[in-house]
Each structure stands twice: as structure tokens, then as C-alpha cells.
Amino acid sequence: MLQVSVLKEQTDRVLAGLAKKNYPNAEAEVQHILELDQRRKHLQTEHDQSQAEANKLAQQIGGLMKSGDKAGADELKARTATLKTHTKAAADELAQVEKDLQSALYLLPNLPHESVPQGRSADDNEVVREVGEQPTLPEGALPHWDLIKKYDIIDFELGNKITGAGFPVYKGQGARLQRALINFFLDEALAAGYTEIQPPILINEASGYGTGQLPDKEGQMYHATADDLYLIPTAEVPITNLYRDEVIAADRLPIRNTGYTPCFRREAGSWGAHVRGLNRLHQFDKVEIVEIDLPERSYATLERMLDHIEGVLQKLELPYRVLRLCGGDMGFTSALTYDLEVWSAAQGRWLEVSSCSNFETYQANRLKLRYKDQNGKNQLLHTLNGSALALPRIVAALLENNQTAEGIRLPQVLHRYCGFEQIG
């Protein structure tokens, strides 16, 4: 959530940033927020003055009663009653204005970092680098949705029978490959200095607002309405919320956590090869890395996180590329996002497998996540997260890129995790 002080003191920068994110009606909404804040301040002053005058009159009434001046005391009591009515009305309006102000602030996206390129869609994203050679497949090579049937390792029909579309069942070597990848990703994160967290996969409303899934992505999350809880779209949400309403000692920073969770998203529903098979699911597994750091270090931290994710892809022997997302393709809460995509040889296209983002103070302001600076003053921290990695499209690329006449060859790094060297 953007700070009102930033909207007020850096209005031109705010409007330019919202324009880069192609946010409509930015000027009117910023002006509305500033007017609400001005009204809030006026009401707060009015309320405080009325309260102070009522307190003063109460003291005077006590003195008059002691001196026996009942008429004078009654007159002041009448004035006090009028003040109390006025104070309550001001307090009620103040509460409503504060609520309206908070709601309006929730609707503004984060401002993009200066390095974010202009653009409206994925076509305008900037390719930072491309690593690895794209494999040449044998004649008759299959896409992963045919390979999983050939080797009977993932069953979409069974998942549809049990739950519905987008909930696959992993079987035999497919299930073992899932477990192997999760353990490999976690071990890589632990070796890089992250602390493993096993968080709940249901969150309350406060957690959803804390990291920005609410109100922006409310329709994309599964909602357990009886208990007003949400199934998590990513481990970022519960892990970052561990630190909601905290003041972190500077010597504890950076905080570096990792966690595996299943993830749940209602977004599947479009048609075509780009969402076929494992390309888009309602439920999938992912290992996440989350960091909290000082503002002056956060972009160096983002690059370190990106290096870690690239290192994992290199060990998997997958050709990949790194994209810097343009303003129009960025997430609501992000200030800068790198997407990492692996090459899918059988599909002949790039598949996104990770996003690595710096949210600067946007989430921290919602979370009230702060540290004390050298002057003892509370300041907002920066939060960051990255997928390291999401499994479905990694599995799709591994199956497609490594298929041979004898079976699907797995990269060396996975042999000890899987207990086998190839599928089939």
C-alpha cells in the first residue's frame, strides 16, 4: 500500500508510475485520496479540540459544585452535553473517512522501479539474458501431455473424477519426480542460507490484505466461506505474514525463509495449447523463497535471489531466459519483477517457471512491518519473494526436452533424489 505522504509529496512521480502501469483514472483517484486525508485531519483536529474543551468544562463543573454554584454547574453541563454530541458525530465521521481512505489506498497498485520498461503486455517485456542451448528433439517427439499418458505418470482424468479439471493425480515415477524436485529445491535453498518454514495453507483475511492478494485477487483465490479463510495462492503469503505488526531489530536482517506448499488458484479456465496439460493448473506444488531486508540493500538482495534461481535451473540443465517485466505486465504489488522462463522443445515456446519480485515498502506498509533506524525511529522494511521453483512447467520441460527412444532422461542432479535415472 502506498503511503499518503508519498502521494502528497511526490504526486508527479506517483502519477508517472501509475501511468507506466497503465492504471486508469490515476489523477482523479490520487486527488480523492488526498482530499480524504485532508478531511481526516480536519475531523481529527475537530474531535481533539471538542474532547479537550469537554475535559476542561468537567473540571470547571467540579469547582462550581464544590462552591455551591449549582446553576453555573448546570449551565456548563448543558454545554458539555452539546460538546459530547458534537464529539461523537465527529468521531463517527472520522471512523468512516478513515475506512474510506484505507479502501481507496488498497486499490492503488505499487509504483514501478525506474528500471521497469514501458509497455502494455508480455510482448513488451525486456529480455535480460538467455542461457543454454535449445535441444533438438528426435523425430516424432511428443508434448508432455502425450508423454505423461505414454508413461502413465500423471492422470488428469482421475483428478477430474475426484475433484475437477486442473487437479492432476501424480502416479508412480511421476509422484516420485514431484517429491524429488521439492526436496531438491528445498535443499538448494537451505544450502544458500534460507531457513525452512512449513506454513499453514489456509490464511485469514488480514493475511490476504497484508501481502496484497486482497482486494486485488479476491476472485482468484478459493474461499472457505464458512470459516472466512482462503486457500493460499503461494507460500509468499503465509511466510511474509509471519512478520505482520512487528518491529524487526536491524541486526536480524536480512530475514531469509523458504517453504514448500501446494498452491491453489482459480485462474485456470482459458482454452488452447498454451494452458494444456501442466501449463496451467488449479493446484500445483511450489517452493518459495522470501526475504525481508533494509531498503538500501533490497535491490542487491533481489539480484542475489535471481542468481539463486538461475543456479537451480542450470543444475536442471534447462535452457532458460530472464525477463524484466514491463509496467503493463507487472503484478499489482510489485515494484520490479523478473520472470524466468524455460524452453519447451516439444511445444516450441517459453514457459514461465518463476517470478522474482521486490515489493519495496508496499507490502510492509500494509503489514506494519518495520525496523528502527539509527535515530530510533520506526521505518518500513522492504519485502521480496521468488519462486524457486514452481513444479508443473519445470516437469513439462524436463519431460519434453529429455525424451529419447528409450525413455525420458533425467538430469544428473535428480538421480539421487528420484532413485532412478530415467522415466520409462
CATH number of the CATH domain containing 396: 3.30.930.10
Whether 167 and 43 map to the same domain: the answer is no
Q: Are residues 278 and 350 in the same domain?
A: yes
Q: Count of domains in the chain?
A: 2
Counting residues of the chain whose pLDDT is more than 90, the rounded percentage is 86
Residue 91 has pLDDT above 60, yes or no: yes
The count of residues in the chain is: 424
Region 286-298: mean pLDDT is 98
Is 115 part of any domain?
Answer: no
Instruction: Place 272 in a pLDDT band, splitting at 50, 70 and 90.
Output: low
Which pairs count as long-range contacts for 114-120, CB under 8 Å and 24+ apart, including other chains? 115/324, 115/336, 116/20, 116/324, 116/325, 116/326, 116/327, 116/330, 116/335, 116/336, 117/324, 117/326, 117/327, 118/20, 118/326, 118/327, 119/326, 119/327, 119/328, 119/329, 120/22, 120/326, 120/328, 120/329
Separation between Cα atoms, residue 145 and residue 158, nearest integer Å:
14
354 carries a ligand binding annotation: yes
Domain hosting residue 74, numbered range: 4-106
- Predicted confidence at residue 86, as pLDDT, reads 82
Q: Is the pLDDT of residue 417 over 90?
A: yes
Question: Is the separation of the CB atoms in 147 and 399 below 8 Å?
Answer: yes
Highest mean pLDDT among 66-80, 155-169, 205-219: 155-169
Task: Please state the φ and ψ torsions of residue 63, each to the nearest 5 degrees.
Answer: -65, -40
C-alpha cell read off for 220: 482468484
Name the domain boundary from 51, 78, 106: 106
Domain harbouring 68, CATH code:
1.10.287.40
**Helices of type H across 192-342:** 205-211, 236-241, 298-315
Residues 173 and 73 in one domain: no
Task: Judge contact between 331 and 357, C-beta under 8 A.
Answer: yes
| Sheet containing strand 126-131, strands side by side | 126-131, 320-324, 336-344, 349-358, 382-390, 283-293, 255-264, 195-196
Do 330 and 116 form a contact (C-beta atoms < 8 A)? yes
Residue 135's contacts (CB-CB under 8 Å, 6 or more residues apart) are 319, 343, 345, 401, 402
The verdict on 94 and 191 lying in the same domain is no
Measured CA distances, 125 to 51, 117, 211, 309 (Å): 56, 7, 24, 19
pLDDT of 287 over the 80 cut:
yes
**For position 270, what pLDDT does the model report?**
53
**Quick one: pLDDT at residue 56?**
84
Phi and psi, residue 237, nearest 5°: -65, -60
Q: Indicate the average pLDDT of the chain.
A: 94
> Does 102 reside within a domain?
yes
Residue 271 has a pLDDT of 53
78 assigned to some structural domain: yes
Query: Is the same domain home to 342 and 393?
Result: yes
pLDDT at 26: 97
Same domain, 95 and 162: no
Looking at the structure, tell me whether residues 97 and 169 fall in a common domain.
no
Q: What is the pLDDT of residues 29-82, one digit of tens each?
A: 999 999 999 999 999 998 888 888 888 887 888 777 778 887 777 787 888 888
In a domain, 116, yes or no: no
In a shared domain, residues 205 and 284: yes
> Does 111 reside within a domain?
no
Residues 332 and 196 reside in one and the same domain: yes
Band of the pLDDT at 397, cuts 50, 70, 90? very high
* Same domain membership, residue 266 and residue 209: yes
Among 106, 131, 147, where does a domain finish?
106
- Is a pLDDT exceeding 80 seen at residue 226? yes
Where does a domain end: 53, 79, 106?
A: 106
β-sheet bridge partners, residue 354: 340
Question: Which of 13-20's residues contact partners 24+ apart within 8 Å by CB, and which partners?
Answer: 13/111, 14/111, 17/111, 17/112, 18/108, 18/109, 18/111, 20/112, 20/116, 20/118, 20/327
Task: Tell whether 401 is covered by a domain.
Answer: yes
Half-sphere exposure of 302 (CA within 13 A, CB side): 23
Question: For 371-388, what is the mean pLDDT?
Answer: 96
| Position 112 in a domain | no
103 is in an annotated binding site: no
234 known member of a binding site: yes
Do 155 and 265 lie in one domain? The reply is: yes
Give the global pTM.
0.93
> Helices in 10-69 by DSSP H: which ranges?
11-20, 26-67
pLDDT in tens, 237-269: 999 999 999 999 999 999 999 999 999 999 754
- For residue 352, say whether it is annotated as part of any ligand binding site: yes
State yes or no: 385 annotated in a binding site: yes
Tell me if 161 is assigned to some domain.
yes
Per the annotation, does 353 bind a ligand? yes
